[in-house]
Structures are given as C-alpha cells and as structure tokens.
Structure 1
Amino acid sequence: MKKSTLALMVLGFLASSTSSQAAEIYNKDGNKLNVYGKVKAMHYLSDDNSKDGDQTYVRFGFKGETQINDQLTGYGQWEAEFSGNKDESSSTTKTRYAFAGLKYANVGSFDYGRSLGALYDVEAWTDMFPEFGGDSSAKTDNFMTKRASGLATLRSTDFFGAIDGLNMTLQYQGKNEGRDVSKQNGDGFGSALTYDFGGSDFQLGGAYTTSDRTDAQQATTRGNGDRADAWATGVKYDANNLYVASMYSETRNMTPISGGFANKTQNFEAVIQYQFDFGLRPSLGYVQQKGKDIENIGDADLVKYIDVGATYYFNKNMSAFVDYKINQLDDNNPLGIKNDDIVALGMVYQF
C-alpha cells in the first residue's frame, strides 16, 4: 500500500532527533546555527498527589557548527528545560545538554560537556513510550547511564570508516562531587558498540561503564562498594512502520535507593509500536528493575509496570498523546516505593 504524505513525514520525524528537526536561522561562510524546541502541555491523573496535576514544560536549544577546513568541523549544542506548571516566582530552569567538540570528516567526533552517557547508546532503544519508559537503569546524573556532566566522548561511525554499520563510543567522565550523594560520581570510563549489519533494519548493541565511587557514596548504609559498574545489551527492529526493541542491563553499586544504592540490579525493558499511515502510533511496553541482595531486605522490585499508550501525529510539528502506566509493584513493597497508576494526557508542538 502506498504510504500517505503524512505517514512519510511522521516516519522521518521519528527516525530523527529533536535537534535535527531544527529551524535554520543562519548559514553563511561555513557557519550554521539551528534552533529547536517543543512545548509539552501535559496533565497527570493519579492517586499519588505528588504526581497528579499539571506537568507542562518547554524545551529550547540550539545546535551550531563551523567549517574549520575541508575535513574538520567544530560543533556545539545547548538545551534547557523551563517549567510551565509553577507560579512565576518558583518556576525552574535546568540545563539538559551543553557540549562542544570537533568532527573529522566521516571518521568520528570528540566532544566534552554535559551530554549522554555511553550506556544510553543501548538504553535509548526502549525509551520510546509516549511519556513514561526508559527508567530502569537509565537515570539522569547517575554515572554514565543517561544525561550527565563532565563527559569526554569519542564517537565513530562505521568504525572509523572501516566497517559499515558498526558504531563505537568511548567515554571518560570526570569526578563530580559537592552535590546530592545520589548524583555524585568518581572518575569513570564507558564504551558502547552498535551494529546494523551494514544498513539492515535490525540492530544489536552492547555497552559497559565502570567508575570510582565518591567517599560519600561509599559511606551510605546500602551499596558501599568502591566501584560502580554497569553493562547493557539490546536489540531493535525498525522498518515497515513497525518498531520493536528490548534491552537487558545490570548495575552494581550504582542505582539509588532508600538508604544509598542497590548492590545489584537486573533490568529489562521492551516496547512495540506501529505507525499507521493516517498518523496514529499505538505503543505497548514493559519495564522492570529488580534489586538484588539489598541490605536487610534481600531481593525486591524497584520498578515494575506495563505501559499502554498512543500518539496521534497531526503533522511533523503537532501531536497528541495518552500514556497509561499500570504499576505492578506490591502495595507493601519493602522500600516503600509508591505504586500508584498514572495516566498522562497531552499535546506537543515542536519545531
């Protein structure tokens, strides 16, 4: 069946990052500057009063590059998020990305700043739910599992031009102290490999990180080892309007819990979505994180839910969504983690 114009636009959008949909505002003498952003007008429905209510926010950023010579390009990116659900005297702003780097031809790139950790090269494949998802081992400012500070990252496409479809990430993270214990980290290293078999619709990936833990982290009641380690492996298929992905990972002395950190976690995520030609994209997913050998507890689920949702794309800039998080945690779980269901309703405008 011939795809409609809308379906082609939507599929192109889903295959691209937010910044690649940016509006070009300057392009002269080898210098380019794009701006991008989105408004997510969203409301949560839940018996958990801390989650129920308005969740609206705005994100805005720029992505620029400069042509230094025939082979070398400089680039930078910054993105911030602004709360839209608070009164004006208590509105908050946070920096999501802020990095700069150099890219040499089609060989690879190197950048430094606040960006994405190496483990997220694989974890991102299942972080596709309309609102929820991607929250087992991937946590912001938790070593190199998601967005984090002080990252020096070397990325190579097609393994320095030698093997089509084999992409590599090598990463170093500098020490970050003087913040909440759960957000600290010592010096660490990470790596990731993804391979699409030379351009196929099927992709495999694996990632590993290891870091020193700070003195404050080692002094916590739970999870007091001197190193934090994680590994992840994943698979995805993205073709014929169908998206299917799954991810399994494990962490050691890394995942924050009440009283410190889990000695070990086992994490599984899966998602399946289908893009209809008329704009509808239903989504079904599952996320589970099990803590192992927790002091005075033993094994316990930390995250466990089924996710049912759908997004309708009016065009590449405007969409509406609903996402239902069906919590599967026990009512009397030993760590006192809230287990209320949440329904998210919203509309998104982005450019």
Structure 2
Amino acid sequence: MKLKTLAVAVALLASGSQVVASELYNQDGTSLNMGGRAEARLSMMDGKAEDASRIRLNFLGKQEINDSLYGVGFWEGEFRTNEKGAVDENAKGESNSELDTRYAYAGLGGKYGEITYGKNDGALGVITDFTDIMAYHGNTAAYKLAVADRTDNMVSYAGQFEQLALRASYRFADRTEEANGFGDNDEDGFSLSAIYAFADTGFEVGAGYADQNEGDEFMLAAAYTVGNFYVSGLYTGGDNLDQDANVAPASGDVDYKGYELAVAYTMGQTVFTSTYNKAEQDNDDSVDNLAVDVTYYFKPNFRGYASYNFDLMDSKGTEEKDELALGLRYDF
C-alpha cells in the first residue's frame, strides 16, 4: 500500500518501513536506522493456495558533513520463501528461499535535494503512488519502464520545495564485452516527474515522462482528499512498450495506453480501498480488473487485510483469474 498522497489517516497509513524504523546508532553526526516488515500473505485462485509471504529489511545511514550537506547510504532486501511442500531445499538440493536487493545506493543531500547512485527509484513511482493505494492488488495498468521504476546503474535526484516535489533519474547503459573491445546493451534512459500540492485544498497533481532504449511513456495523475475520503486517477500512454515482458519489444511498434481510478475511505482504524485498472496494447485490451480490499490497523505498525481482484478479461475469451488475498503485516 502506498498512501503518500492520502492525508486522512497519516498515523495509521504510514506504510513506508522508515516511518517506524529503529535507531541503532546516533552520535557525532552519524546515524544508522534499521527498518522493514514481516508480511504473511495467502493468495487463492480457483480454490488453489499460494504462499506469497515476504520479509523486507533495510538499513539507512547518514553522516552530517556540515550544516547544509550530508552523506547517505541505503540498502533494502526482500526475502521470500515458497517451499512448495519441501523443507528448506528442493529435490535438487537448491535453496527454496530467495533474496532480492530492492535498493542499494549512496549519495549526497542538502536543502536542494538528494542525489544518489546505485539501485534506486526512478521518477514515475511517485506518480503511480497516486492510485497504488491497496494492501495487495491494484496498479496493473500503469506500466513503468525500468528507468522510471527502480533499477541499478542509475543516478537519481529527489527534491522537495514547499508544495513542489521533483524527481529525475538517468540510467547508464551496461557495459558488454565484444570481440574488438567494449560495447553496451542500449538500456540507458531517463525519467522526470513533478508533483504539486495546492496548499491546504487537498488537491494534488503530478506528471512524468520516461525514455529508455526504444520505449517512451508519459503519466498524468490527480488526487483529492476531503475529510476521510480520497479519490485519484491516472492516465498513461507510451510507444514500444511490452507490459508482459517488462522490456521494450525487440521489433515492431506497440502503442500502449491505460488508466487507473482509486478511492479510499477511512473509518476509525479501518480503511476501505478500491481501484479499477484498464489498459490497451495496439487497441486490444491487455488489462481490465476491479479490486477491493479492507485493512484493519490493530496498531499503526500492525495490520490485517483482505483483498479481492475481479478479472474482467474473462468476457473477452481469456481464462478468468480472480484472486483472493489475505494478509497480516508487521512493520518495524
């Protein structure tokens, strides 16, 4: 759940691990925080169960250099176990556990923002956050190029100037060895975004653009918060995007467009959310689903949720893929 733009229940809906991170060390301008989450997730499709549980662990270090400059380093990993009936190892003696590095970067920051190098966020994640508000489902129509999402070998910038938030990233192409020297894989690119909040009106807008290899895309988003009610929408379009493969296709020209609508209502310690996602590739439907969920916060850092996704593509000749997800999440 990413509710950065939903201000109706800040204390309860702070989903980022760093919000409840534990301070391990703080002395002489040097600090080290640890955060993360443990999340048990059960997925059910057509009566069949799948374990989607995960644990995230991160460390954030900061060093004050002077009054206007600091150094920063951050790492986050995600652990997943899916034994599929085995114990620790599969039939080949290989571990069934997986560890993915989600973030690994270092950089400098100050009053004009933060610039880092490594594996970090691109610029369009903050735009999809407008509608990516659910505990489990949602955010299936706003496809992002890697340079716009989260990848390595990238320089990233983030700055906050009162009501204006700016993001930018540039990814270098990866070096390859060739017979006559070195080349690259052509996966260089950039992404840009801006979000503006209209003072205390509850209205917020965002826009972004990304280009990588043979693909490019844009996104427009808006959100409105009033009382305990939140509503948002997002529209995206691009060329030469292959949503399923998560890369630009090797040949051909694919036109991609999609939109997402999201709504949330907070009632005490309970949050109700719903999103609708629709996308097309070359005028053929590629995404069409409606998701609803309910999340109950026992405490700000411990929640339980139930989420259901209605796959609306079944009426178009594809196999129905409705999904029920149940979860418990502890943030630390």
Q: What's the TM-score bracket when you normalise by the shorter of the two chains?
A: 0.7 to 0.9
* Paired amino acid for 2:323: I
2:61 aligned with 1:64: yes
* Paired amino acid for 1:201: G
Distance 1:332 1:245, change over 3 A: closer
Offset of 1:185 from its aligned partner?
5.8
Which one has the bigger strand percentage? Answer: 2
More divergent stretch after superposition (38-47 vs 164-173): 164-173
Q: Any conservation in 1 of the 2:122–2:148 contact (CA below 8 Å)?
A: yes
Q: Any conservation in 2 of the 1:143–1:185 contact (CA below 8 Å)?
A: no
Whole-Å Cα distance in 2 between the matches of residues 270 and 68 of structure 1? 44
Given the alignment, which residue of 167, 170, 178 partners 1:169? Answer: 167
Q: Any conservation in 2 of the 1:58–1:81 contact (CA below 8 Å)?
A: yes
Distance 1:195 1:314, change over 3 A: same
Offset of 1:201 from its aligned partner?
2.0
How many aligned positions are there? 305
Whole-Å Cα distance in 1 between the matches of residues 106 and 99 of structure 2? 21
Whole-Å Cα distance in 1 between the matches of residues 10 and 314 of structure 2? 38
* TM-superposition CA deviations, 1:315-343 (whole Å, max 9, x none): 1121100000000113665xx6x531000
Equivalent residue number for residue 258 of structure 2: 267
The residue matched to 2:148 in structure 1 has which SS?
coil
Offset of 1:267 from its aligned partner?
1.1
Whole-Å Cα distance in 2 between the matches of residues 47 and 177 of structure 1? 45
Whole-Å Cα distance in 2 between the matches of residues 71 and 287 of structure 1? 43
Equivalent residue number for residue 324 of structure 1: 308
Offset of 1:228 from its aligned partner?
0.9
Equivalent residue number for residue 131 of structure 2: 126
Unpaired runs of at least 5, structure 2? 1-6, 89-94, 177-184
* TM-superposition CA deviations, 1:295-325 (whole Å, max 9, x none): xxxx321111000110000011211000000
1:170-185 pair list within 5 angstroms = 170-176=168-174
Whole-Å Cα distance in 1 between the matches of residues 149 and 46 of structure 2? 29
Q: Any conservation in 1 of the 2:21–2:34 contact (CA below 8 Å)?
A: yes
Equivalent residue number for residue 108 of structure 1: 113
The residue matched to 1:314 in structure 2 has which SS?
strand
Distance 1:48 1:116, change over 3 A: farther
Offset of 1:188 from its aligned partner?
0.8
Q: Any conservation in 2 of the 1:18–1:36 contact (CA below 8 Å)?
A: yes
Distance 1:146 1:192, change over 3 A: same
Offset of 1:144 from its aligned partner?
2.3
* Paired amino acid for 2:258: N
1:201-240 pair list within 5 angstroms = 201-211=202-212, 213=213, 227-240=214-227
Q: Any conservation in 2 of the 1:99–1:111 contact (CA below 8 Å)?
A: yes
Distance 1:9 1:209, change over 3 A: closer
Equivalent residue number for residue 25 of structure 2: 26
Q: Any conservation in 1 of the 2:293–2:305 contact (CA below 8 Å)?
A: yes
2:54 aligned with 1:73: no
2:177 aligned with 1:196: no
Offset of 1:116 from its aligned partner?
1.3
Equivalent residue number for residue 83 of structure 1: 80
Q: Any conservation in 2 of the 1:121–1:207 contact (CA below 8 Å)?
A: no
Whole-Å Cα distance in 1 between the matches of residues 148 and 291 of structure 2? 22
Offset of 1:19 from its aligned partner?
1.6
Equivalent residue number for residue 36 of structure 2: 37
2:324 aligned with 1:347: no
Distance 1:129 1:149, change over 3 A: same
2:102 aligned with 1:96: yes
Provide runs of 4+ in structure 1 moved above 6 Å. none
The residue matched to 2:126 in structure 1 has which SS?
helix
Equivalent residue number for residue 182 of structure 2: none
1:235-314 pair list within 5 angstroms = 235-257=222-244, 261=249, 263-277=254-268, 279-292=269-282, 299-314=283-298
1:119-158 pair list within 5 angstroms = 119-139=124-144, 142-158=145-161
Distance 1:305 1:151, change over 3 A: same
Offset of 1:63 from its aligned partner?
1.2
The residue matched to 2:142 in structure 1 has which SS?
coil
Equivalent residue number for residue 3 of structure 1: none
Unpaired runs of at least 5, structure 1? 1-7, 159-163, 179-183, 214-226, 293-298
Equivalent residue number for residue 46 of structure 2: 47
Whole-Å Cα distance in 2 between the matches of residues 167 and 235 of structure 1? 14
Whole-Å Cα distance in 2 between the matches of residues 9 and 79 of structure 1? 28
Offset of 1:69 from its aligned partner?
0.7
* TM-superposition CA deviations, 1:271-294 (whole Å, max 9, x none): 1111112x11111111111111xx
* Paired amino acid for 2:304: A
Q: Any conservation in 1 of the 2:77–2:100 contact (CA below 8 Å)?
A: yes
Quote the RMSD (CA, aligned, Å). 2.4
Q: Any conservation in 2 of the 1:119–1:192 contact (CA below 8 Å)?
A: yes
Whole-Å Cα distance in 2 between the matches of residues 234 and 339 of structure 1? 29
